Protein backbone atom coordinates (compact mmCIF):
# COMPACT_ATOMS: atom_id res chain seq x y z
CA UNK A 1 0.00 0.00 0.00
CA UNK A 2 2.88 2.37 0.81
CA UNK A 3 4.39 1.93 -2.67
CA UNK A 4 1.02 2.72 -4.23
CA UNK A 5 0.82 5.92 -2.18
CA UNK A 6 4.35 6.90 -3.23
CA UNK A 7 3.54 6.22 -6.87
CA UNK A 8 0.39 8.34 -6.61
CA UNK A 9 2.33 11.24 -5.08
CA UNK A 10 5.01 10.97 -7.77
CA UNK A 11 2.42 11.06 -10.55
CA UNK A 12 0.65 13.99 -8.92
CA UNK A 13 3.90 15.97 -8.76
CA UNK A 14 4.66 15.18 -12.42
CA UNK A 15 1.23 16.31 -13.58
CA UNK A 16 1.32 19.43 -11.43
CA UNK A 17 4.69 20.44 -12.88
CA UNK A 18 3.39 19.93 -16.43
CA UNK A 19 0.33 22.07 -15.87
CA UNK A 20 2.19 24.95 -14.20
CA UNK A 21 5.08 25.16 -16.68
CA UNK A 22 5.48 28.65 -18.10
CA UNK A 23 6.91 29.70 -21.42
CA UNK A 24 9.92 31.96 -21.01
CA UNK A 25 11.76 34.34 -23.28
CA UNK A 26 15.40 35.35 -22.79
CA UNK A 27 17.02 38.33 -24.50
CA UNK A 28 20.58 39.65 -24.56
CA UNK A 29 21.13 43.27 -23.49
CA UNK A 30 24.28 45.35 -23.05
CA UNK A 31 24.18 44.52 -19.32
CA UNK A 32 23.54 40.78 -19.75
CA UNK A 33 20.69 38.33 -20.17
CA UNK A 34 17.14 39.22 -19.13
CA UNK A 35 14.50 36.54 -18.71
CA UNK A 36 10.82 37.22 -19.17
CA UNK A 37 7.57 35.35 -19.63
CA UNK A 38 5.49 34.78 -22.72
CA UNK A 39 1.92 35.69 -21.75
CA UNK A 40 -1.32 35.98 -23.71
CA UNK A 41 -3.87 38.77 -23.93
CA UNK A 42 -7.20 38.10 -22.24
CA UNK A 43 -9.61 38.64 -25.10
CA UNK A 44 -7.83 37.29 -28.20
CA UNK A 45 -5.06 35.16 -26.62
CA UNK A 46 -2.36 37.02 -28.56
CA UNK A 47 1.09 36.10 -27.17
CA UNK A 48 3.47 38.83 -25.98
CA UNK A 49 6.74 38.92 -24.02
CA UNK A 50 6.67 40.50 -20.55
CA UNK A 51 9.88 41.53 -18.79
CA UNK A 52 9.20 42.66 -15.20
CA UNK A 53 11.48 44.18 -12.58
CA UNK A 54 14.08 45.66 -14.93
CA UNK A 55 16.02 48.54 -13.32
CA UNK A 56 16.03 51.24 -16.03
CA UNK A 57 18.10 53.92 -14.34
CA UNK A 58 18.62 56.08 -11.31
CA UNK A 59 15.70 58.23 -10.15
CA UNK A 60 16.08 61.96 -10.94
CA UNK A 61 16.76 63.25 -7.43
CA UNK A 62 19.45 65.49 -5.98
CA UNK A 63 22.25 66.23 -8.48
CA UNK A 64 20.48 64.20 -11.19
CA UNK A 65 17.45 66.52 -11.16
CA UNK A 66 16.92 68.52 -14.42
CA UNK A 67 20.00 67.13 -16.22
Q: Does 38 reside within a domain?
A: yes
Is the model more confident about 13 or about 21? 13
What is the count of structural domains for the chain? 1
Tens digit of pLDDT for each residue in 28-62?
988 888 889 988 898 898 999 898 888 777 777 88
Q: Does 33 reside within a domain?
A: yes
pTM of the entire structure?
A: 0.46
Q: Does 37 reside within a domain?
A: yes
Q: Does 26 reside within a domain?
A: yes
Q: Does 42 reside within a domain?
A: yes
Question: Which residue segment(s) compose the domain that 47 sits in?
Answer: 22-52
Nearest by Cα to 31 from 57, 3, 59: 57
Is the model more confident about 58 or about 67? 58
Of the pLDDT bands very low, low, confident and very high (cuts 50, 70, 90), residue 18 is very low
Q: Is the pLDDT of residue 19 over 50?
A: no
Q: Does 14 reside within a domain?
A: no
Distance (Å, whole) CA 1 – CA 15? 21
Amino acid sequence: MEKLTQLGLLLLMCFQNGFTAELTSTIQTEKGLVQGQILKTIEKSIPYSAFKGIPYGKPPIGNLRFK
